[in-house]
Amino acid sequence: MTQPNDMLLNLAGVCKHFGGLAALSGVSLHIKRGEIYGLIGPNGAGKTTLFNVITGLYQLDEGTFNFDGSDYACCKPHVLAQAGIARTFQNIRLFANMSALENVMVGRHLRTRSGIWGALTRNRAARVEEQAIEERAHELLRYVGIHRPSNTLAKNLSYGEQRRLEIARALATEPKLLALDEPAAGMNATETESLKELMKKIRASGITVLLIEHDVKLIMGLCDRVAVLDYGKKIAEGVPEQVRNDAAVIAAYLGTDSPRPHAGEGQGVRVSE
């Protein structure tokens, strides 16, 4: 396959097994620079597994993994972060007992370099760098819309703020690809709406976004392209309009997950509106 320059992430034939269970079998994904790419699928479809493969938490068993022109199969998470993939976690994994500011500052770790010597002597370079880290962290907190005192402990932030803080922390690593694992989970309609704005803002700043979501409405209204996983296979890919009317997708959803009573609030899965 040719690799046009506008491709940021290329996965081909990715397989991942857990014991005898094939969580992913032959999944291929192509994410273009500057798009918001949605990944949906019923529970257990392998979305999070794929996500973990992309961010290095799992090592793929078969297939190729090309990011920004280089091969990154079987790399550790910090290598992928270095390469420019940053992520958030489905069940929020902040550094709970560090302040909001410190959380973001940790994100700057890999783009900064002062070591023991700098820490001990506090020489000019180290001081300048430390100041830059702090300034950037403040900036990012404002950017994602956290307006609390920056020394508030992460765990004392509201739920929505914690989700945003995770995004700020990820942005601090200067990613090319920002991978968000169900960022809207548990959010109310207003919060979801402002999250949507945030993601558009992030894309506008030139960062590609990969989005896993249960909230199909959010995905459809936001993503440029969408892929649908089911039983570890990609069953559809394309612009939202196209995917929404795909017979296989409708079957996958209606076969496993019936609409929930309060689906009208934007939760739950509705294939057509």
Partner 1 sequence: MDIFLQQLINGLVQGSVYALVALGYTMVYGILGLINFAHGEVVMVGAMVALTALQALLAAAFAPVLAVLFSLMLAVAACMALGYGIERIAYRPLRNAPRLAPLITAIGVSIVLQNLAMMIWGREYHAFPLPFNNGLHEMGGAIITDVQIVIVLVALVMMAGLMGVVHRTRMGRAMRAVAENPSAAALMGVDINRVISATFMLGSALAAVAGLMVSANYGIVHYYMGFMLGLKAFTAAVLGGIGNLRGAMLGGVLLGLIESLGAGYIGDLSGGFLGSHYQDVFAFFVLIAVLVLRPSGLLGERVAERA
Partner 2 sequence: MKLHRPANRHLLLALALLVLPFVIDALFGHGWVRIADFALLYIMLALGLNIVVGYAGLLDLGYIAFFAVGAYTYALLGSPQFGLHWPMYVVLPLGALFACFFGVLLGAPTLRLRGDYLAIVTLGFGEIIRIFMNNLNAPVNITNGPQGISSIDPLHVGTFSFAGQHELFGIGFSSVHQHYYLFLAFTLLVAFVSLRLQHSRIGRAWMAIREDEVAANAMGINTRNIKLLAFAMGATFGGISGGLFAGFQGFVSPESFSLMESIMVLCMVVLGGMGNITGVVLGGVLLVVLPEVFRHGAGPLQQALFGKIVVDPESLRMLMFGLALILVMLWRPAGLWPSTQRRRELMPDESVAQQEQDTVYDSAK
> How many of the chain's residues bind partner 2 (CB under 8 A)?
59
CB of 151 to partner 1, least distance (A): 20
Residue nearer to partner 1 on the CB measure, 47 or 234: 47
Q: Please report how close the Cβ of residue 244 comes to partner 1 at its closest, in angstroms.
A: 28
Cβ proximity to partner 2, 34 vs 268, nearer residue: 268
CA 63 to the chain's CA centroid: 21
Copy the structure tokens of residue 193. 């709406």
Say how many residues touch partner 1, by CB under 8 A. Answer: 10
Smallest separation, CB 207 to partner 1 (Å): 21
182 near partner 2, judged by CB under 8 A = yes
Hey, is 259 helix, strand or coil?
Answer: coil
Cα-based distances in Å from 129 to 112, 119, 133, 227: 7, 11, 6, 41
Q: How far apart are the first and last CA of the chain?
A: 36
162 contact choice in partner 2, partner 1, none (CB below 5 to 8 Å, kind-dependent): partner 2
**Does position 250 bind partner 1 by CB under 8 A?**
no
- Give the list of residues 6+ apart from residue 24 with CB closer than 8 angstroms, or none: 14, 15, 16, 46, 49, 50, 53, 60, 232
Q: Residue 149: which residues within 8 A CB-CB, separation 6 or more?
A: none
* Residue 98 touches partner 2, criterion: CB under 8 A: yes
**CB contact at 8 A, 17 and 63:** no
Stretch that binds partner 1, among 86-94, 138-146, 191-199, 234-242 (CB under 8 A): 86-94
Q: From the list 3, 59, 97, 242, which residue makes contact with partner 2 (rule: CB under 8 A)?
A: 97
Stretch that binds partner 1, among 50-58, 108-116, 170-178, 221-229 (CB under 8 A): 50-58
d(CA 144, CA 166): 10
Q: Tokens 């180290």 sit at which residue?
A: 126
Residue 78 engages partner 2 in binding (rule: CB under 8 A): yes
Residues engaged in binding partner 1 (CB under 8 A): 18, 48, 51-52, 55, 57, 89-90, 93, 181
